[in-house]
Amino acid sequence: MQFVWYILIFIATFCTQASVKPITETPLIVGKALSISSKYIKETPNFDVYLPSDYHTTSEKRTYPLVVTLDGWLVSEATNGILSHLGDTASMPQAIIVSIHSHNRFAWGPELYVSNSGWQGEKSDRLEGFSQGRSQDMINYLQKELFPFLKSQYRINDFRIFIGASPTAAFGLHTLNVAPNLFNAHFLFAATDVLGLGYTPETTMIDAIAKSFEKTSDRSGFLYVASARREAERNPVRYTLAKQLRAALAPYSNTFKLKVEHIDDYGHYPMIVPGLLNAIGFVFPRKDWDIGAKFIEFTNNGNQTLTDILAHYQILSKQVGFDVYPNLNLNNNAACIRAIAQRLRAQGRYGEADALFNYWILHSPSSASAVAGLAVSKELQGEEKEALTLYRKALKLTVPENTRRKEWLTGKIETLTKK
């Protein structure tokens, strides 16, 4: 009898929980899926576009690097998650990410042979399944169709990063050889064995890339290649190939940066996540991109905080080859203009604080937070007329849903109006 009661209680609990309905339900949108017509690719691929979190609130002056993946779900979700997090914590430049969902990710590599890769089979075996030889179709699609379309629709600068894994890494290496201006940086995962594949049975991709560099010895860029260490232990030729690539590109190290490594503790595809973090740190070194510590250092230097911040970002821009800007307003993060402006205002350093608030407004004209921040500073300085004007402007910029800010601004306006 007691067992029957347990069953009845379980059924009653389950039915009660099953009847609970969510109070609200809205789609979670993190990007946009698009496609464009192509005369180069018959099965036109869809592609997802992920924009920086503050893209729609920043001014037209701000442009962003483009990150391209060819592997759909395999790397797109990890890429968007990691790059968005690092961009939103001032640990790298914010970027626009485009993930191409190819109908066949094996299609885009060039015609390749086993060669010296250590793969099973003879050196002369053609890898028809892994690398199907339609690389020029994809290059044409990117160069002549997708990139111009993206440039016309989004604020993209000329710095492009390609991310590929295994078969699409073969495409990435191929572009280094035949289309060196297509990308500025290549992050290639599960790929140290791909280095040993060849356009002919007796050559490797390393040989072809080396010859390409001989023709354009002043080429600049970044190449990161990695695989799982456990795979290199099973196929030690990967270590040899990594060494050969370093030697081949060493003469160009002043302008072209290379890192090849094998990742511990993760397998063929799981190594993409730690590899991606390492690749980002390779292009955007932590010593230069620990922005929170840099900002605190700048506030302690004297009375030219904004000047010091902009000078540091000029250095970063020169390092990477495109304009990099300080983050304006990050959640719970001191590495942004808002946080430093508020810190200086609290210290009574109003001139420096106002310069930062005005920079924020210049780069995000529709930001009610920026205008309200400057209004508070002006009120504290006794400039009540200007503060009142700014509070009214901030109220106009405040979205209707933000009732808390609207009430606060309305109270400020009423108080100053009565004086």
- Please give the Cα distance from 20 to 14 (Å, whole number): 10
Architecture of the domain defined by 32-284: 3-Layer(aba) Sandwich (3.40)
Query: CA–CA separation, 220 vs 81, rounded Å?
Result: 28
CB 93 within 8 A of CB 65: yes
Please, what is the angle between helix 337-346 and helix 305-320, to 10°?
160
For residue 195, how far is the Cα from the chain centroid? Answer: 25
Question: Region 354-358: what's the mean pLDDT?
Answer: 98
Helix (H, G, I), strand (E, B) or coil at 351: helix
Q: Indicate the pTM of the whole model.
A: 0.89
Apex 37 CA angle, 34 and 43, nearest 5: 90
Confidence of residue 131 (pLDDT cuts 50, 70, 90): confident
Between CA 136 and CA 193 the distance in angstroms is 22
Helices (H), 114-225: 135-140, 147-153, 167-178, 205-215
Residue that has been written with the tokens 């600068």 in this structure: 157
Q: Which helix (H) or strand (E) holds 59?
A: none
Q: What is the pLDDT of residue 257?
A: 97
pLDDT tens-digit map of 365-400: 999 999 999 999 999 999 999 999 999 999 999 988
Delimit the domains of the chain by residue range. 32-284, 289-418
Give the chain's end-to-end CA distance (angstroms, integer). Answer: 78
Residue 21, pLDDT above cutoff 80: no
Q: 114 near 123, Cβ under 8 Å?
A: yes
Residue 408: what pLDDT? 95
Neighbours of 347 (CB within 10 A): 11
CATH homologous superfamily for 289-418?
Answer: Tetratricopeptide repeat domain (1.25.40.10)
**Cα separation of 169 and 226, whole Å?**
10
136-180 pLDDT, tens digit each: 999 999 999 999 999 999 999 999 999 999 999 999 999 999 999
The pLDDT, as a whole number, for residue 19 is 61
